[in-house]
Every structure is written in structure tokens, then in C-alpha cells.
Amino acid sequence: MTVSRGLTATQLKYFAAVFMVIDHIGMIFTPMAPFFPADSLWFYAFRYLGRLAFPIFAYFAAQGCRKTSNYPRYLLRLALFGAVTHAVAYGATGGAGGSVIATFFLAAAAIGACRALRDRGLGWLGVPVTLALLILAQLLRVDYGWVGMLTVLAVYAAGTDRRRQLLALAGCLLLYYLAGGLWTYFGPAALDLLSAGEWTGMFARLGAYLPSFRRFYLPYSLLMAGFACLALLPLSRYNGQRGNGSRWFFYWFYPGHLVVLYALSMLIG
């Protein structure tokens, strides 16, 4: 029996699950708080490590859309678990974020809709349908928002070439952490100034944000992006095989570990 080199999909998902737990421990318990203040880069060490989880799961969400033998059943599974886990994640994070499975469901729904429309000769309708679902992802506050959904779409659209897939994944990660970071830091202030009609002094006012941006937010965003892109290394070792293990484990593990961590946080107070 020939054993393929590299890592199976199941092995990579277990790897991602470990970093997902690390990320959520950092989010719920802030374990670095006794040692570093919130304006220290070290305060977010657990969150940096946790960045390796999403790219791996997003990659295999796209692979699932391509390889599943029963697309409606795959979509239904994502819909059911997405709805349940969205409620769990929303509660566990105090409304700060939703479920990543809900993100993957919306991406899979967009891919399925585009396929169906293309088969009926209405492929052009796939664009407004996808845009509507991207907006819905943002309104529902699913994990990683519209960029998270776009990540799955981009990896799927890259075809079967591994290099193109990983480049598409890297591009979306940089969009989320770098371009998204710039918008998070400067966007609200810029919108407030524009709504107040302060066009002329806008750049001067925003310039006041630059020192703290250079001191903390820029290196923070670079660290988040860099750790997320580290996930490309194990993904490059993917051997194309599913591997041994239950596919249901990861669907149940996601809400299960959040409930356990949230319950522990309540007990600890």
C-alpha cells in the first residue's frame, strides 16, 4: 500500500482546530492581561497564533464546494450548523462576532447559485446574487464578514491549480488584515469628518492619528497578516486526500468548544 506524502485534509483541519482554540482562549480570557497592558503587542499573542485557523478552514470550504458529491446536502449541512453556531458564537463573544460556518454557508450558497444560473444560461445574474450575499454577510456580522466569504469564493474561482489557490488565499488575507485594518483605524473618523462637512481639514485631522497608528496598529496589523499567511505553508503540503476521521467532528467541535470556553469564563467570573 502506497502512503502519500504530505498532509491530508483531516490532518490540516486538526491543525487548524488547535489554533482556533488558542485564538478563542485569547479572545475570551485574555490570558496575557496579567503580564502586558492592552496597548502592548504582546497582549495579543494568542490572537496572532489563532490567525492560522481561518485560512485552512476557508481553503477546505472551497474544496468542499468543488469536491462534494451532493451539493444540496453539503449546503444544507452548512446552513444548519451555520445557524446554530452563529447564535452560539454571537452569544460567546457578546455580539462582537458570529460564526465562521455561517460565512462558509453564504459562500457556498453564492457558488451554488452561480452554478445553477450558469446552467440555465443566466450566468450574468450570478454577479448581483453574489453581491447581495456579500452584503448579507456583513449585515449578519458573520465571522470575517464579507471578506471571509470572498476568500472562499476566490479560492474556488482559482480552479484546481494549488499555486493559484494559495495566491488567491494570500491576497484575501492581506485585504482583510491590511486594507481592512486601515479602514478600521481611519474610516470611522474620516466618515465623521465628511458628514460634518469638514473637507478641508480632514487630512490634517487624520494626521493626528498617525503616531499611534505607526506605534501600535500598523505592527499589530502586520503581525496578524503575517501569522495568517503562515497557514500557506502547511496548506502547500496538502496531498489532495481527505484522510481518516469523521467530517462531523469539526462541525460539532466548533460550537462545542465555544460553549465550554464560555461556560468556564462564567464560572471564573
Percentages helix, strand, coil for the chain, rounded to the nearest 5?
75, 0, 25
Global pTM reads 0.92
pLDDT at residue 197, rounded to an integer: 66
pLDDT at residue 2, rounded to an integer: 47
Report the DSSP beta bridge partners of residue 238.
7
Q: CA–CA distance from 28 to each of 44, 78, 80, 98 (Å)?
A: 12, 25, 25, 14
DSSP 44: G
pLDDT at residue 226, rounded to an integer: 97
Q: How many CB atoms lie within 10 A of CB 131?
A: 12
The H helix count followed by the E strand count for the chain is 14, 0
pLDDT at residue 60, rounded to an integer: 97
Residue-by-residue pLDDT tens, the chain, 269 positions: 345 689 999 999 999 999 999 999 999 899 999 999 999 999 999 999 999 999 999 999 999 999 999 999 999 999 999 998 888 777 666 666 789 999 999 999 999 999 999 999 998 999 999 999 999 999 999 999 999 999 999 999 999 999 999 999 999 999 999 998 888 887 777 777 666 666 666 667 777 778 888 899 999 999 999 999 999 999 999 999 998 888 789 888 988 898 899 889 889 87
Determine the 3-state secondary structure of 39 from DSSP. Answer: coil
